[in-house]
Amino acid sequence: MVKRHGQHPTGISSVLAMLYLVLFSTLAVGFFAAITTATQIAANEQRSARARLAAESGMAFMRYHLATAGLPARTPPDQLFDALITSLRAKFDNTQNMPSGSSTISVSSDGNTITIPGDGTSRISLDTDGSAFRAVIHKLMNGEQIEVDVYGSFGGSTFERAISLHYANFPSPASIFNFGVASKGKISMNGNVSITGTKGQEYMGSVLSAWLDDPNALSMTGNSLISGHVSFVNAAAMLSLSTNSTIAGLHYDDAGFDDVIHKGIEPPEFPFVDTSLFEQYVPPSYDTGSSVIRTSKPSGTTFKNIRIKAGTNPSFSANTKIQGVMYVESPNKVTFSGNTTIQGVIVVETDGDNNESLDPTQNLITFSGNVSFSDVSTLPSTSDFPASLRQLTGAMLLAPGYGTSFSGNFNTISGSLIASQVSFSGNAGGTVRGSIINLNKTATSLSGNSDIIIESQGTANYPPAIKFGSSYSPLPYTYSEGGT
């Protein structure tokens, strides 16, 4: 057999095998590189996504604390940012939310920037996986607006996702008017007494006690009844209930009773009362006419837009009728000794601090007979009662610093009753189109056969003399995001 030149079968197979080996090795290296790159990209994307989620969570956290900042009602615009600093220090400094390495917030030397946590590098943890955030707040528009920048991170990485949102200062919602009866002090109900909502709105017969000095915040004896829920600021609050007393239709040993009792709630803001806008409708203090009461036994039974001088301690006889504004200077004890008709509003002089210096056991407004009440909107359209007065609806009695007591029926009150001590006894009862608010740490007491029906007017329809603090709300159109 003749062997032809160039035919090497074994050599060709070896070459092909080597080529395949090189090819598959190259593919393996490529696959490894691709998988490694994809894994790294996925890890980066996860870190980025988790960092952004941390930033969003951090912004939600900041939104809550800015919404509950509770800036004082009379804070001047140029002091809003300082008030915010004070509020945030109380919320954050040396709390469990803050990291151990930076347990306080910090403020820049010019007072225009707040850093949380204070060292600018530590972060507030969100979970055990390493999600965390830090925040920086910048003062805008003299404090009327702020910019909040939140930086989220994940797994201890220095990579951060940042989001930014502007907030504006707005009055705080009047959440106190969600309660039928709200008191800074204890609440005592003895006998056949009730606090109920109107039919179909029984939940408005709700009660709040912000009493913190000891656990005994609510006492109910006899056949006392509350148709709504009961809330306590004190997380350790205790109830003393008789066998026949009910809350939301439940006895203390019924299933579901604990669900209608709320302890340790966020304390709602009690209102600041400024009655100065009503003073313009009564004669000035120096006036000598009959509409300025200077005697303890005023003559006559019908009074229009009257001022009661300090220390007069007047007692109005039976069947007295008050039209317009009754403006009471302090100190004073005002007594209505019989049936009384009020077509208007009773207010006391205020000092800019809810009359905290007054003793509500010595400054009193007492109704010992039945009261018929209608608000200022029902006044006749005359020069005595201009349209500007007739629009000041929503209140029956605004008496910070004063104790108030009722011992007779009052039918329907078209407005809220706000004082520093509140007492109903005997057969006192009726419908209140608003809320009953006790501004002081004195007991709110219902005894005898007192039946209070609450007809809610909503948290937006509170009297014009009532003021609340402010907080910061987000402006959604300002949202932006980035990374560092």
Per-residue pLDDT of the chain (484 residues; tens, 9 = 90+): 445 555 556 667 777 777 777 777 777 676 766 666 666 665 566 677 888 999 999 999 999 999 988 888 888 888 999 999 999 999 999 999 999 889 999 999 999 999 999 999 999 999 888 899 999 999 999 899 999 999 999 987 778 899 999 999 988 777 888 899 999 999 999 999 999 998 888 888 999 999 999 999 999 999 999 999 999 999 999 999 999 999 999 999 999 999 999 999 988 889 999 999 999 999 999 999 999 999 999 988 899 999 999 999 999 988 899 999 999 999 999 999 888 999 999 999 999 889 999 999 999 999 988 888 888 999 999 999 999 999 999 899 999 999 999 988 887 888 899 999 999 998 888 888 889 999 999 999 999 988 899 987 766 678 888 888 889 999 999 999 875 5
Segment holding 315, helix H or strand E: strand 315-316
Q: Do residues 181 and 309 both lie within one domain?
A: yes
Alpha carbons 211 and 216: distance in angstroms, whole number: 8
457 within domain boundaries:
yes
Q: Do residues 58 and 95 both lie within one domain?
A: yes
Q: Do residues 116 and 199 both lie within one domain?
A: no
- Calculated CA dihedral for residues 398, 404, 408, 411, nearest 10 degrees: 20
Place of tokens 């900042």: 69
Closest Cα partner for 304 from 372, 380, 371? 380
CA atoms within 13 A on the CB side of 313: 3
Q: Do residues 130 and 275 both lie within one domain?
A: no
Taking every pair of Cα atoms in the chain, the longest distance, rounded to a whole number of angstroms, is 152
DSSP secondary structure code for residue 242 in this structure: -
Q: Do residues 463 and 474 both lie within one domain?
A: no
The domain in which residue 343 lies consists of 175-467
Q: Do residues 158 and 284 both lie within one domain?
A: no
Q: Do residues 149 and 297 both lie within one domain?
A: no
Q: Do residues 423 and 308 both lie within one domain?
A: yes
- DSSP H helices in 68-140: 80-92
Q: Do residues 421 and 479 both lie within one domain?
A: no
Q: Do residues 446 and 316 both lie within one domain?
A: yes
Please tell me the chain's helix, strand, coil percentages from 3-state DSSP, rounded to the nearest 5: 20, 35, 45
Residue 230 tokens read as 């009961």
pLDDT computed for residue 61 by the predictor: 96
Closest Cα partner for 76 from 138, 143, 137, 140? 143
Classify residue 391 as left (phi > 0), alpha (psi -120 to 50) or beta.
Answer: alpha
413 within domain boundaries:
yes
268 within domain boundaries:
yes
37 within domain boundaries:
no
Length of the chain in terms of residues written: 484
11 within domain boundaries:
no
Q: Do residues 208 and 155 both lie within one domain?
A: no
Under a CB-based contact definition with an 8 Å cutoff, are residues 117 and 111 in contact?
no
The total of structural domains in the chain comes to 2
114 within domain boundaries:
yes
Alpha carbons 415 and 213: distance in angstroms, whole number: 30
Q: What is the CA radius of gyration of the chain?
A: 34
Under a CB-based contact definition with an 8 Å cutoff, are residues 331 and 352 in contact?
no
CA atoms 306, 307, 309, 315: torsion sign: positive
Under a CB-based contact definition with an 8 Å cutoff, are residues 326 and 302 in contact?
no
Q: Do residues 107 and 216 both lie within one domain?
A: no
Omega before residue 298 within 30° of 0, cis: no
90 within domain boundaries:
yes
Alpha carbons 167 and 158: distance in angstroms, whole number: 27
27 within domain boundaries:
no
pLDDT computed for residue 15 by the predictor: 72
